[in-house]
Structure 1
């Protein structure tokens, strides 16, 4: 049993920042009124985090890269058949990976629909003027209905899974705080890159992601030439 750096600092900060933003989004949506101003700010923050995670999934630490935990049929079959390797459970397990990708996809759809949604009272997404009223209606229906319920459902499923693993003496919380995990057969497992240079790269990618979000939001505010 050896300690290995599994989660680099950018991944850990992403995880907890995303969790906090999702809670804030649900709360502000339920409160409504002036709290919707914060709902928009938090939504833009989640948009930024999702873009960052997409990039970090390509160049981040080993266990944060999509290639290291993508749930291929072979990995799923091996894991479900009780033949999983140390690498299959060091980071995201194949089942956990399914949950991760489902969460990222649902959040992406929720953010995208929010950009075009309109509550027909006082608040509307920044891109509503770019599409027809029919598409605004569809986006609003999804955003306030299935999209919201799927996000809440996946979050609850995630929490239940974490506690289920705790009951089996597998702590998933501590590694996401410290970055390190005690695993068997660690000699064959690579440690995640987590140097100062690696973290600087993450900061640059986060800044780039924020710039893209700002550009998208501002694009919706540009008066139509027609």
Structure 2
């Protein structure tokens, strides 16, 4: 990086190893679960096991969001409406954002994504497609109407989740090409280059 605007840059440790491992493991598990749910065999036991893995990952993220390093904490994801609107107004400026962590829109996105994932696995636990084979483990504890409703919500949330993942990938490309900011390398190495 050269030029007067780029003189005062530094490399900072941002994403800790456990958060990075969580991110990439969650991406792989959700991709596999979605693919098996959509295109997989009629027998969904692997899909169920992947759902349990998502529950474990979300439980870890909940704990890590409370006690982990500053960049992993939920308090770092919430910036308030004023900061979020100000960031949104500057989104299309053609320069890196230089946030030390998630920017306000990114933080909001993470909260939405984690909420949708939690609802997705919750509905899966209660879903009953009435095929006597792919019944969620808690479906027997609710009425058949509730279990069928959970199945419907599970499908809709799966589509919403796909949309959120596509938005995430589009944002990565946008930041790389338009704002000249690499979001992938810091999630691989834990180190991000920012202005001082």
- Same fold, TM-score > 0.5, yes or no: yes
Give the aligned partner of residue 46 of structure 2. 38
Give the aligned partner of residue 200 of structure 1. none
Matched, 1:16 2:24: yes
* Paired residues of 1:79 and 1:88 also in contact (CA < 8 A): no
Higher helix share: 1
* Paired residues of 1:6 and 1:90 also in contact (CA < 8 A): yes
Picking from 154, 173, 183, the partner of 1:143 is 154
Which shifted more, 68-77 or 13-22? 68-77
Picking from 71, 82, 94, the partner of 2:104 is 94
* Paired residues of 2:98 and 2:194 also in contact (CA < 8 A): no
TM-score normalised by length of structure 2: 0.87
Picking from 170, 176, 183, the partner of 2:194 is 183
**Post-superposition CA distance 1:30-66 (Å, at most 9, x none):** 21323x1110110000011111111111111111111
After superposition, the CA RMSD in angstroms is 1.8
Give the aligned partner of residue 73 of structure 1. 81
Matched, 1:172 2:180: no
Aligned-pair distance for 1:101? 1.0
Matched, 1:59 2:60: no
Q: What runs of 5+ residues in structure 2 fail to find an aligned partner?
A: 1-8
Tell me the matched-pair count. Answer: 181
* SS of match in other structure, 2:192: strand
Matched, 1:111 2:121: yes
CA distance in 1 between partners of 2:60 and 2:97 (Å): 24
Q: Would the alpha carbon gap of residues 57 and 47 (structure 1) be closer, same or farther in structure 2, given more than 3 Å must change?
A: same
Q: What runs of 5+ residues in structure 1 fail to find an aligned partner?
A: 186-226
TM-score normalised by length of structure 1: 0.76
